Amino acid sequence: MKSVTSEIAQADSTELISSVESLSIFDMVKFAILWSDNQLADRLVREAARHENLPTDQPGLQKVVETSLRAYGISTEKLYIVDGAGLAKENMVTPRTIIQVLTTVRNNPEFQAIYDGLPVSGQTGTLKNRFLTTGTNAVGLVRAKTGWLNSVVSLAGYVTVGKNEYVFAIIADRITPGFKYRNRARETIYAMLETIATPNK
């Protein structure tokens, strides 16, 4: 076996073997919202906690989210954060807080990634196959984030009415568990938004 001098070893130690570059936070946020990537969403919130030198347990996540929202004057009343994806049944948020978040997002270019990532009714992401049988007149007019648990269905975002855009947050709670009942709730929401989006139809 040929010996290696310390000089050669030192030179070799500075040689770049390979490198990996992640997507930007902007692109990760857009992807997580567009496709409801819960794992990525959870990791982003936990990284936000780490960035603030907070633990990634419930108190840490609660504090980083509350601090972030309050910085923009957003209400945190009754807010309870267990994870970064919103999948835990213990998570709580009010429609008022959601509306305030959406209003802040739309009025602040800093959050353009969130707005750009929202799926469009009947066209992109998790809304690509929605509004195609119910609420068809609202196709392309709703930009929103979907959400559901076993007995809850929600949709929150923006609906375009003519030259205007309105913020909305709809949470249907205590639905009978099962796809059939969740689907009925979704169709009701789509019909409501169609009525709002096309008031003169």
Q: Please count the residues of the chain.
A: 201
Dist CA 167 CA 133 (whole Å): 23
Please, are residues 174 and 192 in contact by the beta-carbon 8 Å criterion?
A: no
Model confidence at 43: pLDDT above 70: yes
Dist CA 184 CA 192 (whole Å): 12
- Residue 130 confidence class, pLDDT cut points 50, 70, 90: very high
Average pLDDT over residues 72-89: 96
Alpha helices (H) in 36-177, listed in sequence order? 38-51, 58-70, 95-107, 112-117
CA atoms within 13 A on the CB side of 143: 15
pTM for the model stands at 0.88
Strand ranges (DSSP E) for the chain?
A: 142-149, 152-161, 164-172
Average pLDDT over residues 17-46: 93
Tokens (6 digits) for 16:
């770049």
Q: State residue 22's pLDDT score.
A: 83
DSSP bridge partners of 156: 145, 169
Strand ranges (DSSP E) for 38-187?
A: 142-149, 152-161, 164-172
